[in-house]
Structure 1
Amino acid sequence: MAESSSYLTATADAYDAVADIYADFVRGSLDRLPLDRAIVAVFAELVRGGEPLPVVEAGCGPGYMTAHLRDLGLDAFGIDLSPALVDIARRDFPDLRFEVGSMGAFDVGDGELGGLLSWYSLIHIPPPELPPYFAEFRRVLASEGYLLFGFFESEGGPVVQFDHKVTPAYRWPIDDLADMARKEGFVEVARMLREPLEDERFRRGHLLMRAL
Structure 2
Amino acid sequence: MTEPSSHLCATADAYDAMATRYAEFARNALDPLPLDRAVIAAFAEFVRAADAGPVAELGCGPGQVTAHLRDLGLDVFGVDLSPAMIGIARETYPDLRFEVGSMDALDMADGKLSGIMSWYSVIHTPPQDLPSYIAEFGRVLTPGGYLLLAFFESEDEPVTAFDHKVTTAYRWPVNDLAKLAEEAGFAEVGRMLREPCEGERYRRGHLIMRRNEIR
TM score, norm. by length of structure 1:
0.98
CA distance in 2, matches of 1:36, 1:104: 25
Match in the other structure for 1:69: 69
Which structure 2 residue ranges, 5 or more long, are not aligned? none
Q: Equivalent residue for 2:21?
A: 21
Match of 2:50 in 1: 50
CA distance in 1, matches of 2:126, 2:52: 34
Q: Alpha carbons of 1:139 and 1:2: their partners in 2 closer, same or farther (altered >3 Å)?
A: farther
1:51 and 1:196 mapped to 2: Cα distance?
A: 34
Could you list the structure 1 runs, at least 4 aligned residues long, displaced by more than 6 angstroms after superposition: none
Shift of 1:51: 2.8
In 1, the alpha carbon distance for the partners of 2:65 and 2:77 equals 10
Post-superposition offset of 1:52: 3.5
What does residue 85 of structure 2 align with? 85
Tell me the residue number matched to 2:10.
10
Q: 1:175 and 2:175 equivalent? A: yes
> Structure 1: where are the runs of 5+ without partners?
none
Superposition pairs of residues 35-184 of structure 1, within 5 angstroms: 35-184=35-184
The 1-side partners of 2:156 and 2:207 are apart by 16
Q: CA deviation at 1:4?
A: 5.2
In structure 1, how many angstroms separate the alpha carbons of the residues matched to 2:4 and 2:71?
35
CA distance in 2, matches of 1:50, 1:119: 21
1:204 matched to 2:199:
no
Deviations along 1:25-60, one digit per CA (max 9) or x if unpaired, are 111010000000000000000000013400000000
Identity %: 66
Q: For the residues of structure 1 that align with 2:43 and 2:3, how far apart are their CA atoms?
A: 28
The amino acid of 2:159's aligned partner reads V
Structure 1 counterpart of 2:28, which letter?
Answer: G
* Total equivalences in the alignment: 212
AA of the residue aligned to 2:15:
Y
CA distance in 2, matches of 1:176, 1:3: 29
| Counterpart Cα distance in 1 of 2:4 and 2:109 | 22
Question: 2:191 is paired with a residue of what secondary structure?
Answer: strand
Aligned counterparts of 1:100 and 1:5: Cα–Cα separation in 2: 16
CA contact (8 A) 1:3 1:104 kept: no
Residues 110-161 of structure 1: CA distance to partner in whole angstroms, max 9, x if unpaired? Answer: 0010000000000000001110011100000001100001000001110000
Q: Deviations over 1:77-126 (max 9, x none)?
A: 00000000000000000000000000111111000100000000000000
Distance 2:161 2:178 in 1: 19
Aligned-residue CA RMSD (Å): 1.2
Q: TM-score when scaled to structure 2? A: 0.97
The amino acid across from 2:24 in the alignment is D
Residue type at the aligned position of 1:134: I
